[in-house]
Structure 1
Amino acid sequence: MRSYTKILALLVVASTFTYCRTPQYSLQQEKINYKVDNSIAEDTAIVNYYIPFKHKLENEMNRVIGYTEYSLTRSRSQVETSAGNFFTDALLEIGKLQDPNAQVALATKGGIRADIKQGNVTVGNVFELMPFENAVTILEISGEDMNTLLHFIAKTEGQPVSGLKMDIKAGKPINVFIANQPFDIDKTYKLVTYDYLANGGDYMEGLNNPIKRTDTGIIVRKGLIDYIEKLTKEGKTINTQIDGRIKVIK
């Protein structure tokens, strides 16, 4: 009888520990692949909602704002390009509307993202040329910082500029003219660019310690559109070409 009692007690203790133990769970992930193709019916409610916006956007992108006599092309390997010349010429004019004393404009080869073919220029062309939300910035910099910038342009074998003419020899800037005047390291200069470069983007050198910085808030793309529309209203076309503003001397 005592053996039976002991066995019964042991069974009670064992069952207690068994049922009080925290249950263990394991999570298993089930991978489900959904095929996205024409077999899925479109949601007409969503389509009907966005179609008017799509048409409005397409109409705006296709809107003709000007005409270019020549194709505006870009290149990372050439010292000067027609797209770069157009872009910086426009940038300088945009800057001068904010500060008439602006003398030079600067961009980079990598910042110009599309060519524009000869013929009509649309809003969409400008969006392709400058797809970023960069804003126009005007910097007043010392002659020493301008010299640093000139050496950057030379060692990178040319960058898009306007208001600046220079030769590059052995990777160094020579025969430099700014606003049709010989470069003077003892003077200060007002340069138009955009905030990305002013903040040091594209490994830019010479712009990180300006005497004065003016962030205009003007989106470059919007400024370009206004610039082209102004030309059109004046009965003018875009006729930018390579004009030798930067040359490599052997």
Structure 2
Amino acid sequence: MRQTFFFFILISLITGGCVNQPLSHKLTHHEFIQVDQPAAIDSTIDAVIKPFRDSLNLSMNTVIGTSSASMRSFKPESPLSSFVADLVYDAGYQYLETQGYTRPKLVALVNVRGLRAPMPEGPVLLRNAYEMMPFENLMTAVLLSGEQMQQFFQLMAHENGDGLSGATFTLTDEGATSIRIDGRPIDESEDYWVVTSDYLAEGGDGYTIFGKSDRHLISNYTIRDLIIERIKSMSEQNQIISPEMGVRITDVR
């Protein structure tokens, strides 16, 4: 049913683009039809789509790496969110240097809710990466003042934590305390970068502090592509993905 509908829409768009004169439409009749069973697959359309579907399935079932354990994403921190935050940190550091920012001070932020599926134990397929990160979110770097960084960590505490790299803090009932970036307290006379997704950089999941920044650098790299590249790179070096055991967010609530 969905394949037939997709094909109809595709043909409509193609033929509609060939019309020179603008068209107008008027609804003259409507009727609600309850669909209680799937429609039969049109064999002609299915024959056209099948080569593309088979090729896509073959690509999606490609093994890109190996994981020693199943890793899930949960708050305040988790093996999967830490793994992704680390690779975003590394990619963000390199990206900022290509933009002319030498040895930038930064942290990486990944929203736990954005990671929609676990990393499986054993072979990791390309399909798993797409299930893990189904969105086209672009890696984005946001510059914050030292004072704004303090507010950023309080927002993260309010969100009960998220994927974090390059920093640590203690999560208390009152908020974030003992904040450290690269092992040092925040210097309010300094500026810091937060490397994250464009979704969070635009204020998603309550991170409104990013709206106070006047410097957003949006890269061409999706978070999913960074995940795939990291897993492939580890595989090429015969490295197995293992859960990160270090504590970044100490929850004392």
TM range (shorter): 0.7 to 0.9
- Unaligned 5+ segments in structure 2 are 1-27, 98-103
Please state how far the C-alpha of 1:142 moved relative to its aligned partner: 0.7
1:16 aligns with none
Question: What is the rounded CA distance, in whole Å, between the counterparts of 2:145 and 2:87 in structure 1?
Answer: 24
2:20 aligns with none
Structure-2 change in CA distance of 1:48 and 1:172 (3 Å) = same
Q: Which of 76, 89, 92 pairs up with 1:92? A: 89
Secondary structure at the counterpart of residue 230 of structure 1: helix
1:127 aligns with 130
Please state how far the C-alpha of 1:66 moved relative to its aligned partner: 0.9
Please state how far the C-alpha of 1:236 moved relative to its aligned partner: 1.6
TM-score, with normalisation over the residues of structure 2?
0.80
- Unaligned 5+ segments in structure 1 are 1-26
Question: What is the rounded CA distance, in whole Å, between the counterparts of 1:88 and 1:32 in structure 2?
Answer: 47
Secondary structure at the counterpart of residue 182 of structure 1: coil
Counterpart contact for 1:138–1:193, Cα < 8 Å: yes
2:72 aligns with 73
Please state how far the C-alpha of 1:99 moved relative to its aligned partner: 1.7
1:178 aligns with 181
Q: Which of 137, 141, 144 pairs up with 1:138? A: 141
Q: Deviations along 1:10-33, whole A, 9 cap, x unmatched?
A: xxxxxxxxxxxxxxxxx8877666
Counterpart contact for 1:136–1:192, Cα < 8 Å: yes
For 1:194, the aligned partner's letter is S
| Mapping 1:1-250, distance limit 5 Å | 36-37=37-38, 40=40, 42-75=41-74, 78-100=75-97, 101=104, 103-250=106-253
Please state how far the C-alpha of 1:37 moved relative to its aligned partner: 4.5
Secondary structure at the counterpart of residue 188 of structure 2: coil
State the identity as a percent. Answer: 27
TM-score, with normalisation over the residues of structure 1?
0.81
Question: What is the rounded CA distance, in whole Å, between the counterparts of 1:37 and 1:216 in structure 2?
Answer: 42
Counterpart contact for 2:202–2:208, Cα < 8 Å: no
Q: Deviations along 1:180-202, whole A, 9 cap, x unmatched?
A: 22222221111110111101111
- RMSD over aligned CA atoms reads 2.1
Secondary structure at the counterpart of residue 189 of structure 2: coil
Counterpart contact for 2:155–2:206, Cα < 8 Å: no
